[in-house]
Every structure is written in C-alpha cells, then in structure tokens.
C-alpha cells in the first residue's frame, strides 16, 4: 500500500509538471508606421508614409521599415536643403515552444533624424504615427508566477519627447484590463501570479522630431517562473523517480 501511495505521488508530480501550468501563445499583431514631412515649407513638400502589419505567429520574428531621402532646390532665389532618415524595427523571441513558453523577449527601435537649412521656411520633420512601433502577443494560461522586466533609452534634441510603454493586460470577456502599465525610462521590474485566463503583452514606442534627432529603444522580458521542463528534462526526472521507487521497494 505504501508503494502504491509513493507511485501515485510520483505520477501526480509528473502530471502536475506537464499540465498544471499549461499555456500557449494564441495570437500576435505587430504594426510599424511612419510619416514624414520635409522639403521647403512653400511650394515643395514631401509627405512620405509607410506601414507594415503582421499577424503570423512564429517562434521568433523581426520586422522593419526605413526611409532615407533629401530634398533641395531654390525657392524665391534662395537655396534650401532638407533631409530625413527614419528607422523603425521590432523583434521578438520565444524561449521554449510557443505552446509552452518559458520566456518572451521583445525589442523595439524607433528613430528620426531630420534637418533643414537654407532659404527661410525650409522645414523637416517626422513621427512614428500612433501606434508607431507596436507589438502585441496574446496567450492563454492555466496560471503561473511571472516576472515582467522592461528597460528603455531615449533621446531627443527637439521639444518632442519619445515614449516607451510596456503593458500586461487581461481579457475580462468584453475588454482588456491593465495589470501592469507603465511609461518608463530607467527600468521596470514587476513580479506576480497569473490566474487562468487570456492575457496580452504590449510593447510600444513613439518618436517625433522637427529639425532634430530623436530615438527610442524599448526592451521587454516576460518570464514564466513556473515553466514546465523540456521533454528531455521530464525524461530525466521520470528516470530519477523510477530509480528512487525501485530503491524504496528493495
């Protein structure tokens, strides 16, 4: 009887490792947008824009947009020169299978370098249109302990301040409610426990500039502290338990 109880305990431990903390990443949506206005403020103005949206859910992915162009000429007998360089990109990496992740790393970068000189009225500027540079990852879980880490660096030589944001949200059946939401610069560390449900990780960055340089870099690390061991680890654990049980029977 004692041996039976021990076996049941061992089976319960193994089943708990494989089932109790099950989770899966269910959806992904990422968007990159930029808009720039540059050229002479009078008769010659360029307004390029571009956007990229992705919904494919992968183990890892990276998306980017870039613009580099100049505009120059003569306006009212005066020479002018304007330029704009835009760079937006983001990436993510899931550690462990998507169906049973242990960690998600996300990085975003948004930058604008603009300049104007010469004839009066020459202008140059740009912005990452809201949401600018955004990454959403949704997942469902039976619950686990988590650690939520964020860091951001940004700089602007103009009046507009870049923003970085990282959020953890829960679906309540009709809308998303915030569990963690912050705009930060130095760093962010949060820990907590998720119950059963559907959750969303959001990383967002926006950059604006006018005849200046501006950039924002945002990093988010989301850890499942109760991550289920990989199959190889489970096999080793199972073999160890089997050895212990045989030893007890002797």
Q: What is the pLDDT of residue 164?
A: 80
By CB neighbour count within 10 A (0-12 exposed, 13-18 middle, 19+ buried), where does 60 fall?
Answer: exposed
Read off the pLDDT of each residue in 133-160 and give the average, rounded to a whole number. 87
- Mean pLDDT in residue range 55-75: 93
More confident residue, 184 or 177: 177
**pLDDT digit string (tens) for 102-144?**
999 999 999 999 998 988 878 888 888 877 889 999 999 999 9
> Which residue in 184, 128, 123, 181 sits closest to 151, CA to CA?
184
Burial of residue 217 (number of CB atoms within 10 Å: 0-12, 13-18, 19+): middle
Higher pLDDT: 137 or 158? It is 137
- The predicted pLDDT at position 78 comes to 84
Q: What is the DSSP string of 61-106?
A: EEEEEEEEEEEEEEETTEEEEEEEEEEEEEEEEEES-GGG-SEEEE
pLDDT digits (tens, 9 = 90+) for 179-223: 887 655 556 788 999 999 999 999 988 888 888 888 888 889 999
CB 214 within 8 A of CB 118: no
Tens digit of pLDDT for each residue in 221-231? 999 999 876 55
Mean pLDDT in the chain?
82
* pTM confidence score: 0.80
Task: Please answer whether residues 120 and 78 qualify as being in contact, where contact means their C-beta atoms are separated by less than 8 angstroms.
Answer: yes
Torsion over CA of 7, 13, 15 and 18, rounded to 10 degrees?
-150
Question: What is d(CA 14, CA 239) in angstroms, rounded to the nearest whole number?
Answer: 11
Which segment of 47-56, 127-136, 152-161 scores lowest on mean pLDDT? 152-161
Element (H, E) at 169: strand 163-171
Look up residue 116 and give its DSSP letter. Answer: E
Specify burial of residue 204 (Cβ count, 10 A radius: 0-12, 13-18, 19+).
buried
CB 136 within 8 A of CB 153: no
What is the mean predicted confidence (pLDDT) over 231-239?
48
243 has a pLDDT exceeding 70: no
The pLDDT assigned to 212 comes to 87
pLDDT score of 235 more than 60: no
């Amino acid at each position: 009887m004692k041996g039976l109880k021990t076996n049941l305990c061992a089976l319960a431990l193994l089943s708990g490792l494989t089932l109790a903390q099950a989770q899966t990443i269910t959806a992904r949506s990422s968007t990159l947008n930029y808009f720039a206005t540059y050229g002479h403020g009078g008769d010659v103005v360029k307004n390029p824009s571009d956007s990229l949206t992705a919904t494919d859910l992968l183990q890892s992915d990276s998306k980017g947009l870039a613009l580099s162009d100049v505009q120059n000429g003569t306006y009212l007998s005066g020479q002018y020169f304007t330029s704009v360089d835009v760079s937006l990109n983001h990436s993510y990496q899931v550690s462990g299978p998507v169906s049973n992740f242990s960690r998600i790393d996300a990085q975003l970068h948004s930058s604008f370098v603009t300049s104007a000189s010469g004839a009066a009225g020459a202008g140059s500027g740009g912005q990452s249109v809201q949401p600018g540079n955004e990454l959403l990852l949704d997942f469902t879980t039976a619950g686990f302990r988590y650690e939520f880490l964020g860091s951001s660096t940004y700089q602007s030589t103009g009046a507009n301040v870049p923003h970085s944001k990282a959020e953890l949200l829960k679906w309540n059946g009709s809308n998303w409610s915030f569990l963690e939401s912050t705009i930060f610069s130095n760093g962010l560390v949060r820990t907590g426990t998720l119950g059963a449900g559907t959750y969303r990780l959001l990383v967002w960055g926006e950059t604006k500039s006018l005849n200046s340089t501006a950039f924002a870099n945002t990093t988010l690390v989301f850890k499942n502290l109760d991550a289920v061991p990989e199959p190889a680890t489970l096999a080793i654990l199972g073999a160890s338990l089997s050895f212990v049980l045989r030893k007890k029977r002797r």
